[in-house]
Amino acid sequence: MKDENYRAKIGITLGSGAARGWAHIGVLKALEERGICPDIVCGCSMGALIGGFYAASKLDALEEASGSWSKMGMFRMLGRLIFRGGFFDNDGIMKWLRDALGEVMIEDLPVKFGAVAVDLSTGMELWFTEGDLVDAIMASISAPGMLIPYQKKGLLLGDGALANPVPVSLCRALGADIVVAVDLNGERVGRYFGPHWGLPERSGNFTNDDEGQRMPHFLEVLAVSSQIIQTRLTRHRLAADPPDLLISPKVKNIRMLEFDKSSVAIAEGKKAVERNLSAIGELFE
């Protein structure tokens, strides 16, 4: 017999996407404005970062901070150039996260939270559903080649997008009856490089004589290579474990490292919810 007092648990899973991940803020805020507040939030990579701030009730502070990010400021925050295990160490972003979130345990958050990372030694997908929130976020965002692997309990951990870019499976495992997934890579088909890469100019850039275009910086090549893999992997994972509603913000014009375009991404996240109002109404009626 169905319990008349039972309310379906709502879960939202936020996908990877580097700078385009700011769109998650817009999605979450637009859903809240319509009275849809998730009981469970899961994330991968940038989705884990945004989801962690949401679960800790600090999304407004993150949105405000995002407006002050610049390209060079982002690079400075990443940390020192070390060329061992990754291009940057993780001291800068670790300090920023600790200052913003403090010492908070996942199990003490007002909203149930989970993040995905990968054990780089075995390739196994790992789920963080308890323990230190900053540890979980750092493990999930440590993109191989960009940041050094995050070390925890003898493990070398890397970006969860290597295994599960939009972790619907984790959201359901945590008890979600209804899962809304936000995929930031749904539009990424066709050409990945355009005529301008948007990175700071550096001396010694090579030129492709056939195209008359500047050769992209190797960090952008890393980012785009990762993006291609994530796009293909996302399609397979979502086909195997589909959400009840898929929201795909139109953020293809925001490059992976353009963290200074938060306002554009957040606005598009809100628009993506508006485009899905009919489906949202049917799902939550």
Catalytic residue IDs: 45, 159
Of 218, 92, 245, which is closest to residue 145 (Cα–Cα)?
Answer: 218
Nearest 5°: CA angle at 24, between 23 and 29? 105
| Bridge partner list, 114 | 42
In 157-195, which positions are buried (b, 16+ CB within 10 angstroms) versus exposed (e)? bbbbbbbbbbbbbbbbebebebbbbbbbbbebeeebeee
Contact indicator for 179, 11 with CB cutoff of 8 Å = yes
Locate tokens 């670790």: which residue? 94
In 67-82, which positions are buried (b, 16+ CB within 10 angstroms) versus exposed (e)? eebebeebbeebbeee
Contact indicator for 250, 265 with CB cutoff of 8 Å = no
Contact indicator for 168, 241 with CB cutoff of 8 Å = yes
Query: How far, in Å, CA of 91 to CA of 232, rounded?
Result: 31
Residue 158, token pair as written in the block:
């890397």
Q: Among positive and negative, which fits the CA dihedral 264, 267, 273, 276?
A: negative
